Amino acid sequence: MGEFVTVTTDDEGVATLRLDRAPVNALNSQVWVEFRDAARRVSGDDSIGAVVLWGGPKVFAAGADIKEMQTKPFQEFFARAGVLQEAFNELARLPQITIAAVNGYALGGGCELSLTADFRYAADNARFGQPEILLGVIPGAGGTQRLARLVGIQRAKEMVYAGGMYSAEESLAMGLVDKVFPAGEVYDKAVEAARRYAKGPYALRMAKKAVNEGIEMGLDEALRLETTLFTACFATEDRQIGMDSFLAEGPGKAQFVRR
């Protein structure tokens, strides 16, 4: 358990990765390491079927800790810079389905943290942005890459070049956010959805891998990956359960075991 990043699990297979560093959940270098450790812990735990990333009811994360960054000489920063990218890569590669529940600000590294999730559920008071340019730097943890892949190159350019903030509704319209809820409900809605995914078959892991890794490949190679992962589903108990259940009771009734 980290000082600022904790992992709690419920009895329905949902883990919450909670960031708690007052006042604005700024991501200092200790938080980077704690996210990396939390990702490793969750990744290796087969009892966890889905994950919610949450910064609490006030703010998701206002970005990297500017007070810490301001004091860092180039050499020190360069030596440690890989840790954040590594932590976010490990979060993005979690085999479980992940949902970021965003209350308040998700700025800079905070927006990039939300981009590691499969889905972003936003509170109606959420504000997204990549304001790094206003500090004289550029996004360094996925904001020029995951963001552009998600919302398209033009929208990403506008966000990154101008450094503006976007409301939950604007973020929904551009595809950065998947759903918007009243602020008091967003975490519960994310957990509710995560519980549905946690009941899903092992094939969800294959699906996530196929989409996330395939999109980085040429079409031929990606289709070969899809075939391999499709075939691998036949090695799972869940595909037998799913097909038996369909033939006995019709669609959508299978009780999967995530194996």
**Residues of this chain that bind ligand DAK (CB under 6 A):** 23-24, 26, 62-67, 81, 84-85, 105, 107-109, 131-132, 135, 140-141
Cα distance between residue 120 and residue 79, in whole Å: 31
Which contiguous run of DSSP H or E holds residue 14? strand 14-19
Catalytic hit among 34, 49, 129, 132: 132
Question: Among residues 49 and 109, whose Cβ is nearest to ligand DAK?
Answer: 109
In the bound complex, what is the minimum distance in angstroms from residue 182's beta carbon to ligand DAK? Answer: 20
Instruction: Return the ∠ at Cα 255 (arms to 97 and 96), rounded to 5°.
Output: 10
**Known active-site residue 132:** yes
Three-class secondary structure of residue 101 per DSSP:
strand
In the bound complex, what is the minimum distance in angstroms from residue 207's beta carbon to ligand DAK? Answer: 29
- Residue with the two structure tokens 């409900």: 185
Q: Are 18 and 5 in contact (CB under 8 A)?
A: yes
**Known active-site residue 76:** no
Catalytic hit among 34, 62, 112, 210: 112
Question: Among residues 9 and 85, whose Cβ is nearest to ligand DAK?
Answer: 85
**Known active-site residue 112:** yes
245 to each of 161, 196, 240, 252, 254, how far by Cα in Å? 52, 18, 8, 8, 5
In the bound complex, what is the minimum distance in angstroms from residue 2's beta carbon to ligand DAK? Answer: 18
**Known active-site residue 109:** yes
Q: What secondary structure does DSSP assign to 63-89, as a single string?
A: -B-HHHHHH--HHHHHHHTHHHHHHHH
Question: Among residues 96 and 114, whose Cβ is nearest to ligand DAK?
Answer: 114
Question: Residue with the closest Cβ to ligand DAK?
Answer: 108
Q: Point out the residues that are catalytic.
A: 64, 109, 112, 132
